[in-house]
Amino acid sequence: MPRIPTDRLALPKVAVVGLGSWGTAIASLAAPHVGEVWGWDYLADVVEGVNRDHRNPSYATGCVLPDNVHATSEISEAVAGADAVLVATPSAFLRSTCRRFADVLDLDTPVLVLAKGIERETGLLVYQVAADELGREERVALISGPNHSEEIVRGLPAATVCGAASDEIVEVFRSILGSERFRIYGSRDRVGVGACGALKNVVAIACGIACGMGLGDNTVAVLMTRGLAEMTRIAYALGAEPITCMGLAGMGDLVTTCISPHSRNRSFGQAFVAGETLAGYEARTSMVVEGYRAAASAHDLASRLGVEAPLMESVYRVLYEDSPLDREVAELLSREPRTEFYGIVDEAVADAADSLEEP
């Protein structure tokens, strides 16, 4: 059982694995509440900049990090002896990164996964991938919400939801990261939090494509709400609580990702319409487009689970099969409208009725 800290020095050392824009923002949130923050990154200039100038020269460059934030290029140095580990690497590198420090991590140390995605090869959510490498799944939590790092480092108000197996784990990470400006809500539905965090990025790409095609605000609103329905159907089929998708991890994160100029998934969708490739976009921005990978995972999951997800299927075909945009738009518009929450409400009600009938 993890210790719930009661003062700043109750957790002498917290590790942040990955000092990209999100990892840097997380380090800045944690620093006032713990003894020391040790960040790991593979880029030598990032490590040097944090240690020498208290700034990340590549990401969140305007953020001045407190003196108790340190960086290292040795992942074992960052993690060894840590009272909590926060993993901020992109989902595509999550498994390999966790494998690198699994041997030096104490089995009682709580772990918070900050990535958003679904591993295509296994269909596992990010917290499950981390637990697969680190062991003790019950100590692995994850967060998701409208949390753009560009605003977090400026101290603008934000909130997130921490999916964890116990209230005690939520309290550990609330004590490390929570404040009046960064509110942390708790949830036992790790499946819902993880599924929403990954799938909303696919919808954001669709919204970016719509903007790039000049289809208007009404279209974007339709894509967001129908996308939310698809997210909920897939999450529910995975075993999530449908209500999770209406909260910070679902609707909250979806709104921000689909409308914000900071959203790499939305902006990639716009760039894609203009003819830019994924490789070109990621090289230009030094950002990973999580939604591109999530589109393939969503396609696989929807097929395996027998869930209708026409919007996400269209995004998949455009990105992976070079399907023309005009053809996909026409296909979506020609679908026969159904009841708004088909595949969610009826099944949820049936499940509730079945549970009432059980002795």
Backbone angles phi, psi at 235, to 5 degrees: -60, -45
Please name the residue ranges forming H helices in 286-344.
Answer: 290-305, 310-320, 325-333
Q: Which residues pair with 118 in a beta bridge?
A: 125
249: buried, middle or exposed (CB in 10 Å: 19+, 13-18, 0-12)? buried
Cα 86 to Cα 18: distance, rounded to the nearest angstrom: 9
Cα 229 to Cα 233: distance, rounded to the nearest angstrom: 6
With H, G, I as helix, E, B as strand and everything else as coil, classify residue 115.
coil
Report strand pairing: 140-144 vs 69-72.
unpaired
Q: Which residues pair with 84 in a beta bridge?
A: 14
Given a contact cutoff of 8 angstroms between Cβ atoms, the answer to whether 62 and 97 are in contact is no
Given a contact cutoff of 8 angstroms between Cβ atoms, the answer to whether 231 and 255 are in contact is no
Q: What is the full DSSP assignment across 142-188?
A: EEESS--HHHHTTT--EEEEEE-SSHHHHHHHHHHH--SSEEEEEES
Instruction: Out of 200, 264, 266, 299, pick the active-site residue.
Output: 200
């074992």: which residue's tokens? 76
Known catalytic residue: 116? no
Active-site positions read 200
